[in-house]
Amino acid sequence: MLNPYFLNGSKNEQNLIQSLVNEQLKMYGVEVYYLPRQYATEQTVIKEVIESKFEHAYPLEAYVDSYEGFGGQGTLLSKFGIQEKDDLTLVISKERYQEYISPFMKDIPNMKGVTHRPREGDLVWFPLGDKLFEIKYVEHEQPFYQLEKNYVYQLKLELFRYEDEVIDTGVETVDDEIAEIGTGYVQTLTLIGAAVTATASATVCTSGSVNSITITNMGSGYSIPPTVGFSSAPAGGTKAVGIASLTNQFIDCTGSKSGRVNQVYLTNAGCGYTVAPKMVFNTLQTETGSGAAATAGITTIGSVQTVTVVDGGSGYVSNPSVSIAQTGATTAYGYGIINSAGVVVAVAITAGGVGFATTESTVVTINAPAANDGQGTFIYNEVVTGSTSGTTARVRSYDSVNNTLEVSIVAGSFVAGETIVGQESGASYTLRTLNEDDIVDPYADNDNIEFEADKIIDFTTRNPFGMP
């Protein structure tokens, strides 16, 4: 039996060793952040984790024991692409963890497994490389029971691979890391900005402007509107410019859209024409469709030539009506062309009016957008909620100029027309359109890769094993 007069590790001796360990870590270690993993949702049948999040970060001193793979050995080319397998081994104080981290973890919801020691799956932010690492294994018996006690945890870490986890700890240096490691699936929401009426000014031509266009043949098979060409005006005049629109678009048996030209709108009615200009509809090599034809008519009594947008306004959902008036003249009409952000970018003239003079003031009136109470600025990484669908997502970027909001970690499906509200910023805007196919992955081009690969090696039924 053991000699009873030797304690083989008294409480005081153990405390001394632990204090020395803590002091060494504070002297020669680095300050890291420990991020415990919370399990937000899981599949109920096989308990598969669907979503996890990291909303807490605790500072802790750690000693770098080894850093395998940082010399390039951890960069591997696999069938899944280039993978970073950088490994890191850290040593932390057992006492410091149990006294300064473990008590707080007990009150965190959706925690699974033990909380009295570091857990596999938790993250560690390493400041020297500004990277997140995932704990793969916790060694808690090395060194082995010195004076009948263990004093440190040895953490085996691998470079964290982001998979749409929520990282919102409140520590800016940690949260910004997801911008470096990628955002996974990103959905673009186009919002309706605050309602502001657009303004514009008009240019008048006293003689020789196009004031009517008659479609003589609508053509067929157009996939996109063809460009409209006008013959040039005589010397000193201005060439007219128009935009074609399509109607009766449908999906044909080849799966392509096919349509006919139903109208031509003028962005510049031209000036100085003595005879009606000739018109032609042109298609690019990548476009389809043919047969469209039209004739133009001109007026020798002053009419509106161009309408220039001064302020595009915001909050437009549909193209607004435009009227151009002048004392003693027949009112000209057109409509504003809006972009995806709901801003008027141009004005198309549908009727140039008659009797306009350059010596008289011209008033351009653009219909106001529908009332919209959009306000505020969305904050990076905050949660936004759809008022109708209840869908939630995390903000990745917000472009206030173009009124576009990029979100990820989408739970549900947003609905056009509902209000998108930021939980932290209080920003609120109506959703105009959404794109559900915005996956930010420049390498997701598998069809092209396969096509090019088939030029090198035959994998058809004639050669299923890809023999050269």
* Domain final residue, candidates 366, 400, 435: 366
Distances (CA, A) of 171 to 60, 178, 288: 14, 12, 54
Q: What percent of the chain is predicted at pLDDT more than 70? A: 83
Tens of pLDDT, residue by residue over 316-336, are 888 999 999 999 899 999 999
* In a shared domain, residues 293 and 335: yes
Q: Of residues 267 and 255, which shows the higher confidence score? A: 267
Structurally, how many domains does the chain consist of?
Answer: 2
Domain that holds residue 216: 199-366
Does position 118 have pLDDT exceeding 90, yes or no? yes
Model pTM above 0.75? no
Peptide bond into 225 cis (omega under 30): no
418 domain-assigned: no
146 inside domain: yes
Query: Is 428 within a domain?
Result: no
What does the buried/exposed string (b/e) look like for 298-329 if buried means 16 or more CB atoms within 10 Å of the residue's CB?
Answer: bbeebbbbbbebeebbbbbeeebebebbbeeb
**203 with 177, same domain?**
no
More confident residue, 51 or 225: 225
* 54 token code pair: 């990291």
Does 49 map to a domain? yes
In a domain, 86, yes or no: yes
Are 231 and 158 in the same domain?
no
Choice among 42-46, 206-210, 263-267, 321-325 with the minimum mean pLDDT: 42-46
**Final residue of a structural domain among 304, 335, 366:** 366
For residue range 383-402, list pLDDT tens digits in order.
899 999 999 988 888 988 88
Cα distance from N-terminal residue to C-terminal residue, the chain: 73
Q: Is the pLDDT of residue 440 over 50?
A: no
Rounded to 5 degrees, what angle do the CA atoms 416, 418, 419 make? Answer: 130
- Between residues 439 and 367, the one the model is more confident about: 367
167 and 89 within one domain? yes
**pLDDT for 140-169, tens place per residue?**
888 888 888 899 999 999 988 877 788 888
The verdict on 244 and 352 lying in the same domain is: yes
Tell me if 440 is assigned to some domain: no
Out of 351, 366, 381, a domain closes at: 366
- Report which residue type is found at 148: E
For the ranges 30-44, 188-202, 391-405, 438-452, which has the lowest average pLDDT?
A: 438-452
Sequence-distant (6+) residues with CB within 8 A of 253 are none
Give the pair of three-digit tokens for residue 87: 């490994």
